[in-house]
Structure 1
Amino acid sequence: MNESCPENDRHESVAVAKFLLASAAATGADPHGIVREASLSSDALTEADARVPSPAMFALWELTDRVMEVKDTALTMAGQYRLGALDLLDYLATSAPTLGEAMRLTLRYLPFISTNCRLELVEENDRETTYAFSHFQDGGPATDLSERFSLAVLCIRANEATRQLVRPVHVGFAQEAPRRHADLAELFSARQRLDFGQATGSFTFRTSDLRLPIATADPALHAILRRYADTLPLPTPETWESRFRRLLTESLADGTVGLDAMARRLAVSPRTLQRRLADAGTTWRAELDAARRTRAEKAARQGGTPVSVLADRLGYSDARSLRRARRRWEDVPATPQA
């Protein structure tokens, strides 16, 4: 978990809120009415460095979706996106030398736009590079709108920044497939299919496309912007290891623990997951055992859970297997997890 940003303190840049409201106004909606209904202060939205709590941003998404008379609010808004709409994050990217560097900076500085969104590079080889996108907090239907908009903007920006057609190899959505998604397919122009109901949102570029030059690259301006960005407070990103352990704990809680299931949650192959764990100096078996131990010890302190029930929740074949694990744990000090 991102320790520097508690779950109840997620927030978004006011630039995003202004963009949503301007997009709504462009279709004839009343932005002032949306702001009032979302219980936001109009004065706060005029401050350049203001932050909007993530629940309020989700409310803005739902309200704009309700009043905008369009087929897909998220895609309509993404279609109105122009370079610079995402404030400093866009200018860092569009002054960078290549698309790959622009993406790397987006990974690093995304908290300037949102501390509730996560973007990470999950797989890279000579042919393809995959990025995963997700939210820390779930905003219900508004999360789906935000996911579609965010993935669309990231792909649109790649085209506008390079002034070339950068078609993603693949795009995946965590949300379920809408009844009609021809507009999605047209916007993304994916070389392959769009997939829905995935563990996380994702998009894959050809690695060769990441070497494309940014049309507006400006080394001097870029250096100035980087120095400025580095003077601003930036929440510490959640590490891959801490995210893996958080998702593993969630898997134990909902009974979906397993190497293949965890790989799907992380949007990687089981083989890549095992390699990432090896790079971190650990293994799937060791991490699973440590997570089971932590959960079992917590259950023991709280009391009231029959051994057979706990064994099933932890993914053991029977209560006897859990008892054997407990005897083994008694001889080994617990290893603190990040």
Structure 2
Amino acid sequence: MLNGTVSARMGRFMVDAARQAGMDPARLVRLPDVGDAVLADEFARVSTPTALLLWEQIILGRPAVHAGLHAVQLASMGTFGVWDYLFTSGETLAESLRTGCGYVTVIGDPGAEKLHVSDDGRLFTVTHSTGPAEPDVVAAVEQFVLPLISRRATEGLRRPVVPVRVAFRHGPPHTLGPLTEFLGTRNIEFDAPVNSMTYLAEDAHAPMPRTQPGLQDVLRSHAELTIASAKPVLGWHGAFRTTLRATFHDPDLSLASVARRMALSPRTLQRRLGELGTTWRDEVEGVREELAMDLIRDSDVPMRTIAARARFSDARALRRAVHRWHGTTPGDLRRRHEHPAPQGREEQSPEPPTDPPTPGAHG
């Protein structure tokens, strides 16, 4: 099952876009399924939670622009491999769009991204829906998918092809200028019941120039092989941990909110954790430890700031937790990392912290 994953090509594109948006390289390194070896593997699949985390970073890095539309402008023809060329290889634009939308699994999460086409002989419409995520991420994805298809339609016909109507489920952005300029129409609706893009039949059924007979069959076969050979890098638990870490700073962090991001019910998520011999509380504690230790060892962030980021009540609670985990203090761990002990010398056992306990400090 490829639900909950996207292609390595999509992962590579998202990583590049996040880097351009200013994402901290150290944070990228800690994402388990977007390493160089994974992204170089044509058949690897990156977890959707990782893709959503990258979208969040792109949005944070470009708060004044349409993040989804900006990403489309980075996606030149060929970025997504065979999926791109399926949009240009049919005898008509309608055939190409129908085929490309039918193979969304080649690059996207089949459990989240749905593309459909309809043709009444007068109008040809592409509809899109995406999975659960934070509202700004959903808006960015919606402003990425339909404009990307619009760009591929224009590239396939080798001339501008303008939709007569575009609709988005999310609310209107602060400015419409970039969208209307890119799509070539002012007929854009927001807060619509469904995301859609509609072309006149005369455009949709226009012949594609330079179509090579039999090419689409070859591309379909390659797409089928890509899907059949795909291999998710993370198992279910790894995807859960990635989701939990990506949402750890959310004020409303809860089992229910993480379940929603993974398109699961809270009861199903709780049951799956139980089957692995773990609990929600254990998982939160594990991510809290990972986050705190990364910041202690790899940064000069003050302890009170680390405590806040790792969801501790204060720095004393952080010190007690570190002693519980590693038998030493945060300051000593940081000094050891900066000045490793010479080989052959045994380090002295640190003194336990002397701060008085705070009730409920470790949540």
The alignment's TM-score, normalised by the length of structure 1, stands at 0.61
- Whether 2:175 is the aligned partner of 1:148: answer no
Helix, strand or coil at the partner of 1:156 = helix
Q: 1:134 aligns with which of 119, 124, 129?
A: 129
Q: Is the 8 A contact 1:55 1:139 kept in 2?
A: no
Alignment of 1:59 with 2:46, yes or no, is no
User: Residue 29 of structure 1 corresponds to which residue in structure 2?
Assistant: 22
How much has 1:209 moved relative to structure 2? 0.8
Deviation at 1:139, TM superposition (A): 4.5
Give the 5 Å matches for 1:1-338: 9-25=3-19, 27=20, 29-30=22-23, 32-33=25-26, 35-36=28-29, 38-42=31-35, 43-68=37-62, 71-114=65-108, 115=110, 116-121=112-117, 123-190=118-185, 192-233=186-227
The CA RMSD measured in Å over matched residues stands at: 2.4
Where 1:94 maps in the other structure, the secondary structure is coil
The one-letter code matched in structure 1 to 2:137 is A
Q: What residue is the counterpart of 1:265 in the other structure?
A: none
Separation in 2, partners of 1:161, 1:232: 22
Q: 1:178 to 1:99 in 2, by over 3 A?
A: same
Amino-acid identity (%): 23
**Mapped partners of 2:134, 2:64: distance in 1:** 21
2:77 alignment partner, SS class? coil
What residue is the counterpart of 1:316 in the other structure? Answer: none
Unaligned 5+ runs, structure 1: 236-338
Structure 1 pair 11–216 and aligned structure 2 pair: CA distance change class (3 A): farther
Structure of greater Rg: 2
Contact 1:22–1:31, Cα closer than 8 Å, also in 2: no
Superposition TM-score, scaled by structure 2 size: 0.57
Offset of 1:105 from its aligned partner? 0.5
Residue identity in the other structure for 1:29: G
Go from structure 1 to structure 2 and tell me whether the alpha carbon gap of 1:105 and 1:182 turns closer, same or farther (over 3 Å shift).
same
Contact 2:6 2:46 in 1 (8 A): yes
**Could you report, residue by residue, the CA deviation over 1:281-335 in whole angstroms, capped at 9, with x for unpaired residues?**
xxxxxxxxxxxxxxxxxxxxxxxxxxxxxxxxxxxxxxxxxxxxxxxxxxxxxxx
- 8 A Cα contact 1:14 1:52, kept in partner: yes
Change (3 A) 1:221 1:144: same
Flag structure 2 segments of 5+ consecutive residues without an equivalent.
230-363
Change (3 A) 1:93 1:59: same
Q: How many residues align?
A: 226
CA separation of 1:41 and 1:93: change in aligned 2, threshold 3 A: closer
